[in-house]
Each structure stands twice: as C-alpha cells, then as structure tokens.
Chains A and B, each alone.
Chain A
Amino acid sequence: MHAPAVTTTGRDLRLDLFRGIALWLIFLDHIPSNLVAWATIRNYGFSDATEIFVFVSGYTAAFVYGKEMRERGFIVAGAHILRRAWQIYVAHVFLFAIYLAEISYVATSFENPLYAEEMNILDFLKQPDVTIIQALLLKFKPANMDVLPLYIILLLLFPPILWLLQLRSTLALGASVLLYVLTWEFNWNMPSYPSGHWYFNPFAWQLLFVFGAWCALGGAQRLSRVLQSPLTLSLAAAYLLFAFVISLTWYLPGMSQHVPRWLEEVIYPIDKANLDVLRFAHFLALAVVTVRFVPREWPLLKSWWAWPPIVCGQHSLEIFCLGVFLSFAAHFAMMEVSGAFWMQALVSALGIVVMVAVAGLLTWYKRAERSSGSRPRKTPDADLAGGEA
C-alpha cells in the first residue's frame, strides 16, 4: 500500500487527529453500559470529548471560512457557513428518525414488569403532532442528541462573529467572554420541550467555539510565548492532576471523605450545561500539555498509525452521525445477542473500524469527484476532506 491518503493543505493535522479521537470517544460514551467507555477521558478529569469537538470545530470553521471571507467577501463566506448549518440540521433530523425507529421498537418489544416506570419514555409518542414539530424546532432533543443543535446555533451566529474576529480579534473574543459571564450571571439559556433548557447552553458553549476560532486566526501564535513557558506547563500539569484526584473520588466513595468540605462547596456542581469554568480550564490545561508534547510537525502524524483518527476527524459531521447511529446499533446488538463484556468490547471495536472505513470511503469519493473534473471547485477548501468545518 502507498502512503496514507491524508489531505494536507497547510492545515494542522493535529486538529483532525484530536477531533477524530474525540469522535471515537463520543461514540464509546454513547454506547450504554459499555465498560470500554471507562477508558475515555471524561472519567479522569472534568472535561470530556465534547470540549475537544467544539473547540476544534470552531478552529477549523475559522480556518476554512476565514480564508474564504478574506478572498471572496462576507456574503459568499456567510452563505457557505449557513449552508453548512443547513446540512447539520438535515443530519440531525435524520438521527431523530433513527431514534424514533429505535424507541418504537422498544415500545412494542419490551414489557418487563420491573421497568413499568421506565416505559414513561414512550409518553411523547402519544402526541406525535406536538413532539415531532418540537423536534424540528430543535426544542425536543432526545438523549445524546444535543451536540448537533448546539453546532447549528453556533454556525448560524458565526458569520458576524467571524467578521469581527478578522477585524478586531481581541474585541470579538472579549465579547464572547462577556456573553459567557452574562449568561452565568443572568441564567440565560434556550428553552426546551417539554420543559427545561438546552443541555448544551449555546450562550455558554460559544466561548469554546469562538476561542477555537480566535486561535485559528492568529491567537495561537500570540499565545505561543505563554504556551512555551515552563510555568504554564507546570500549572496545567498540576491542574490536570488535581482534576484527576477529584474524579477518583466520584468512583471511590471512601475517598470523597478526604475532600475538604469548603472545596466541595467551591467546585460542585460542575455544570456541563453551562460549560463550567472548571471544565473550560481543564480543556485548556489538556491543550497546553498536548501542544507541548505533540508538535505540529510530529512525524507520527503522517504515518499509518495516525491515519485512522485523522481521516475520521476530516469528515467530522458524517462520522459524528454515523457514530450516533452505530451506538444505537451496538446497543441493539447488546440487547438481542448479549450484554456481556466480550460483546461490549466487540461492538466498540467494530464500531470504530466501521467509522474509519466509512471515512476512508468518503475521502475516496471526494478525490474521485475532484479528479473527474465535472464540478470545478469554486470554494477551494470549504468542503474538501481536509477543510471540512
């Protein structure tokens, strides 16, 4: 076999690598009762794969559409961003259809008297007229289907943010921080159906997306001196260790006695919905350590070893949706065949193999399309394998 088919357009392959890994972790975390998911980062600190996914998505969106906005203007780039938001919306509706299929199957096949109460999940099927419309309005979001609506809102708001980032990047980042602070101060969020709010509050999570975009547009270079400093590295390492120790107390009840009460009062609850500062800081610390030990020109990035996650990261939307679908399928297989550990390991491994295979296929499609020449590329990067936002 020849060299790995990785698109390199001056793009930082580490982004694709870590987004690909994040997609794997999201898949593993979405398979219920999966012992393999104990290996994922959410069990060893405050933040999880969602932070990586949102940050990298912000970074790549700015990288791709920022270039386009400079070359072809606000209107064209804005239109492409909105088209991307539409694609994600369609993907979300597709996943909702799969969810409906799964839940309807469970409704008819499952009458264990032990779980009479759990069957209340079917209540929403009694009013399909309301529920399906609420789902299309992104207000009704079944479990594990919260990330794409967040992504849609972030992209809808992205054109003016990107414009401001290119004009006055510090001002744009400051506005984002301000919105985050005000959101915490005044409890802003978007309403959900039938009650409550968005599980990923877009007014809070925008901070990570905009921060990613800011880094892509020169922020990372400006931060490079801070990032190189040994003090930053040791602070980050110390914080990661602290988060690790705290996360151990979640699983070892005996250990939680050793956490001082005042500390518990300060850190809990760690609010995922509103991107808790502890989570954000944990992601930053992870990023600092990662950037230090995985340099941009790391030879392994171009080797066969790194190809599977990178190729997944380069088709993030398709692979994310596939991952959600595969987690449903894995759960189905565990219900119908066996829920034993060997089965969990098998479906976890198979799922990742399928994700890599499909991502490889998508790369092949895009190359075949391009080489046929039937469709001249007007937007050089926006949809390329390597340029997907």
Chain B
Amino acid sequence: MKTPMAARLAAVLLPLLSGPALAEERQPCEVPGYLLFASNELKHVAEAVAQHRRLTIAVVGTGSSMLAGPDGPPSAYPARLEVALRKRLPSVAVRVVPVVRRGMTAENLAQGMAKLLVDEKPDLVIWQTGTLDAIRRIEPDDFRTALEEGVETLHGGGADVILMNMQYSPRTETMVALGPYADTMRVVAQQYEIPLFDRLSIMRHWSDTGEFDLYAAGKDNVLAHRVHDCIGRAMATMIIDAAHLRPSELKAGQ
C-alpha cells in the first residue's frame, strides 16, 4: 500500500538511510510526481501553444501570491512561473499576468472572473484561493458555490483553469482548520476535471524532507523568495505535463 503516509515516511527516512551522497544528487525542491501530475488536461493551453505559439496565463489570487518589498513582484511565483515557462518553451510567447489582491475570499474573486476574461483573454487561469475563507470560517457550502461559479465562468469564456490551494504554514496550523476547504477544492477540481495544484501538500513535502524550514520565524526574505521560485517552477512542470507540451519539439522550432 503506497499512501502518502508511506511516501512521507519514506521521504523522511530515505535521506537518513542513504546518507549525504544521495542527498547531493537530488534536484533542488523536487516535487514527487504523485503530487504534481493529474489526469486532467489543459486543452486550451495546448491549442494556444500549438496554433499560435502564444500562451497567456492569469494568476488570480490573494496575499500568498505576492511578496512584499521592492523586489517582491519579480520574486513572487507568478513572475517565477513566467521565467520558468519561457526557459522551457523558448519558441512560445509566454505572458503571466498576476491579478492578485489582499483580503479577498473565493466569492470576491469569483465575481471578478468575467471581467478578467475580457481584460486579459487568458488561455489559462491559475486560481489561488481558500486561505482567507478558512481563516474567516466561511461556510464550506458557500465556498464550494463560489468555486463552482468561478470555474463555470472561466470555462464558459474558453479558458483552462488550475486551482491552487493554501500554503502549508506549520506555525499557524493549529489555529486555522484548512482541511474542509482543501477537501472542497479537491472535490471541485474532480467535478470539473481540472488540475489542482496542491500547494499545501507540496510545501508540506518540502518541510518533511527538510528542503525548507517553514517553521522559521523572523523576516527572512531569502526563504520566501526561494519557496516562490520553487512553486513557480513546479507550476511550470504541471502546465507542461497537463497540456502535453513537449519542450524538445518546441525548441526545435518546427
């Protein structure tokens, strides 16, 4: 039985057993496939890349999709995603537009989706949400309704959707019950056959393997920047996989 229990235990124990040699070979902030690859496809992304060599992605989200300070915007994961995609898809004109605002619930964000479609005409919308809903203890049913409305609006407007759930935040974990909201996002993702970027599990995996010390307190911008860079790169991998893009073929510049 290979469950996350087994996987997480293995993640913790294997580096201990195999010693430093193996640990050095490991790529930085690797994400295991079971956390990243879904069976759901990104058809509009595939089409935009194949036919127009162009890809416009909008990131709709809240405080955890941005970083503060002058070097915040280029270090936050939307900008890192753009960098990663441009590097891996050099023949495609990739544009990632962050549409992020602090203090928004899923319902607030869902209401902005129609306007977003007109303004940016995205092929793909990455919708990061759930944190504020969990903190404010919004009724899970209302949260689900808001997600459904948002996803339906985006699908109606011809955009693919990836849902992104909350950050793993070990220090505040006892104080916010993320579980019901993360479950709701998983259910909605299954219902509409869209990929879920499980940021919660991915960051937990990095914490378990010792990749990042997410317990760290204090104003450490380096940690925040590294985590966002890793999220951006992992997201790029997920998009390329879910849209069946083959970087090698695209590089050849058919």
Binding site for B on A (CB under 8 A): 30, 32-33, 35, 38, 43, 99, 102-103, 106, 109-121, 123, 142-144, 192, 194-197, 199, 248, 250-254, 256-257, 264, 268-269, 272-273, 327-328, 331, 334-335, 339-341
Complex: A103 Cα to B4 Cα, angstroms = 30
Question: Which residue of chain A has its CB nearest to the CB of B12?
Answer: A341
How many interface residues does chain B have, given as a range? 35 or more
The residue on B at minimum CB distance from A103 is B175
Tell me whether B216 and A251 are in contact (CB under 8 A): no
Task: Decide if B190 is an interface residue (CB 8 Å cutoff).
Answer: yes
**Which of B3, B12, B135, B216 contacts A120 (CB under 8 A)?**
B135
- Contact partner of A253 among B38, B68, B169, B214, CB < 8 A? B38
Q: B174 to A102, Cβ gap below 8 A? A: yes
Question: Contact partner of B183 among A197, A253, A269, CB < 8 A?
Answer: A269
Name the CB-closest residue of B to A248.
B3
CA distance A334 to B215 in the complex (A): 8
CA distance A81 to B221 in the complex (A): 55
B residues contacting A by CB (< 8 A) are: 1-5, 8-9, 12-13, 34, 37-39, 62-64, 67-69, 102-103, 131-132, 135-140, 142, 144, 167-177, 180, 183-184, 186-187, 190-191, 204, 207-208, 210, 214-221, 223-224, 227-228
Cross-chain contact A144 with B174 (CB below 8 angstroms): yes
Additional A-B contact list (19), CB under 8 Å, known A196-B139, A334-B170:
A33-B207, A35-B8, A106-B175, A112-B171, A112-B224, A114-B214, A114-B224, A116-B64, A118-B171, A121-B135, A123-B135, A143-B176, A194-B136, A194-B137, A199-B177, A251-B3, A253-B34, A340-B210, A341-B9
Q: Which of B9, B39, B144, B221 contacts A113 (CB 8 A)?
A: B221
Cβ of A195 and Cβ of B167 under 8 Å apart?
A: no
Q: Within the complex, what minimum Cβ distance (angstroms) separates B190 from chain A?
A: 7
C-alpha spacing A110/B216, complex, angstroms? 8
State whether B171 touches A111 (Cβ < 8 A). no
In the complex, which residues of chain A have a beta carbon less than 8 angstroms from the beta carbon of B3?
A: 38, 43, 248, 251-252
B-side contacts of A264, CB under 8 Å: 190-191
A112 touches B132 (CB 8 A): no
User: Which residue of chain A lies nearest to B184 when distances are taken between CB atoms in the complex?
Assistant: A269
The residue from B5, B38, B176, B219 contacting A38, defined by CB atoms under 8 A apart: B5
Residue of B nearest to A254 (CB): B34
The answer to whether B68 and A328 touch across the interface, beta carbons within 8 angstroms, is no
Q: When the two chains form their complex, are residues A110 and B224 in contact, meaning their CB atoms are under 8 A apart? A: no
User: CA separation between A112 and B139, bound complex, in Å?
Assistant: 28
Docked pose: A119 CA to B186 CA in angstroms: 24
Nearest opposing residue in chain B for A32, CB measure: B173
Q: Could you pull out 18 A-B pairs where Cβ atoms are within 8 angstroms?
A: A35-B5, A38-B3, A38-B5, A111-B219, A112-B218, A113-B219, A114-B67, A114-B167, A117-B62, A119-B172, A120-B63, A123-B135, A143-B175, A248-B3, A250-B186, A251-B3, A269-B184, A272-B180
Q: How far is the CA of A103 from the CA of B144 in the complex (A)?
A: 28
Within the assembled complex, what's the spacing in Å between the Cα atoms of A112 and B172?
12
Given contacts A106-B172, A118-B167, is CB(A339)–CB(B215) below 8 Å? yes
Decide if B170 touches A33 in the complex (CB within 8 Å).
Answer: yes
B221 touches A195 (CB 8 A): no
A269 contacts B220, C-beta separation under 8 Å: no
Pick the 7 closest A-B CB pairs, nearest first: A117-B63, A32-B173, A38-B5, A114-B224, A143-B177, A196-B139, A117-B64
Choice from B4, B138, B220 contacting A196 with Cβ under 8 Å? B138
User: A110, A120, A252, A273: which contacts B34 (Cβ < 8 A)?
Assistant: A252
The answer to whether A43 and B102 touch (CB under 8 A), given A103-B175, A106-B171, A257-B39, is no
